[in-house]
Structure 1
């Protein structure tokens, strides 16, 4: 998984808040341990590290808290996690050919990292994202933009390793999306359009 950006989201402020809360929580825990020692009349060799608390809070927040509906509503932070069926149309510049294809788009997402993979039903290659960003447009939905690398899984002559860019416009319910992709002009001069539909809500 790699980092990605949600435009307008105060990620730095959230991290600062987690850090401040970790300091407060670790201080309270250590004071509680001191009080327990006095009540027991003997020392307890346990100290709660602020760094450990901050790390645990960050992990919990990144994996779970950001998915809470209230958080997503307030911060307009989409949860793309899941699989989507693809119906695509590709166009080849060199021959002016076009062809329809089907595939699966899989997205694994945390608050701070994401991984997007795409595989068509009639191809041995798979596209994997290398960076990405998200933009929210009020009343329209979310735009997911990412760059990818595609490496064929076998030695088919007409398939070459190549890079490209995808742009998807998701409805606010994140069930349907339309998009386009553009391959680099050096190794594979293709571009096309796609329609997505979530297949596991």
Structure 2
């Protein structure tokens, strides 16, 4: 997976919130220890040393928060971070820019995502090529999420002779329920520039 940008998610603000929660958590532990008669301070004690101080608290809380945001629809909506993890069936329609030849194809899109990283992998049904994302950006616009990414496409041995390794870009506009999407893509090759559209349907 690689890092991606999210125009609507403030990672710095989110980290600050987790930091505040971490300090409150440590303060709560200190109060509890004092209440039961242990006049020691976390993380400046044996327990703190074992947990490597507040850094561990922050890491654990950030990890839990990251999992919760992507899995709880309400939190995902508040922070505008959609859970795109999963597989998508694709129906594609491509056109050669030079010959204007139309090609209908199908495939599968797989997305793996966290708050900070994402991976988009597309494999055609005929298994002639596989594309993998290199960079990506996510934004929320007009009530839906839009994912734009650049990719490298690598043909396998069964691919047509005129299909070479190439790069391209794709923009996917997801429906509000994140179950479908419409995409536009462009393959950039010196001798075979193609473009087209894709219809995505999530595999539930």
Q: With the length of structure 1 as denominator, give the TM-score of the two structures.
A: 0.86
Q: Which moved more, 1:165-174 or 1:148-157?
A: 148-157
Aligned residue in 2 for 1:46: 47
Shift of 1:183: 1.1
Q: Given that residues 107 and 125 in structure 2 are in contact (C-alpha distance below 8 angstroms), is that contact kept between their aligned partners in structure 1?
A: yes
2:153 paired residue among 150, 155, 170: 150
Q: With the length of structure 2 as denominator, give the TM-score of the two structures.
A: 0.85
Write out the 4+ residue segments of structure 1 that deviate beyond 4 Å after TM superposition: 33-37
Structure 1 residue runs without a partner (length 5+): none
1:160-193 Cα shifts (integer Å, max 9, x gaps):
2211100111110111111111111326411111
Distance 1:56 1:188, change over 3 A: farther
**SS of alignment partner, residue 111 of structure 1:** coil
Aligned residue in 1 for 2:74: 70
CA distance in 1, matches of 2:68, 2:9: 17
Q: Given that residues 87 and 111 in structure 2 are in contact (C-alpha distance below 8 angstroms), is that contact kept between their aligned partners in structure 1?
A: yes
**SS of alignment partner, residue 25 of structure 1:** helix
Aligned residue in 1 for 2:9: 9
The size of the alignment, in residue pairs, is 195
1:10-60 Cα shifts (integer Å, max 9, x gaps):
221001111121122134335544655639xxxx83224100111111111
**SS of alignment partner, residue 19 of structure 1:** helix
Q: Given that residues 166 and 189 in structure 2 are in contact (C-alpha distance below 8 angstroms), is that contact kept between their aligned partners in structure 1?
A: no
Distance 1:77 1:38, change over 3 A: closer
Distance 1:30 1:150, change over 3 A: farther
Aligned residue in 1 for 2:64: 60
Distance 1:65 1:178, change over 3 A: closer
Shift of 1:63: 2.5
Structure 2 residue runs without a partner (length 5+): 40-44
2:115 paired residue among 102, 111, 117: 111
Aligned residue in 1 for 2:174: 170
CA distance in 2, matches of 1:164, 1:38: 62
CA distance in 2, matches of 1:128, 1:36: 55
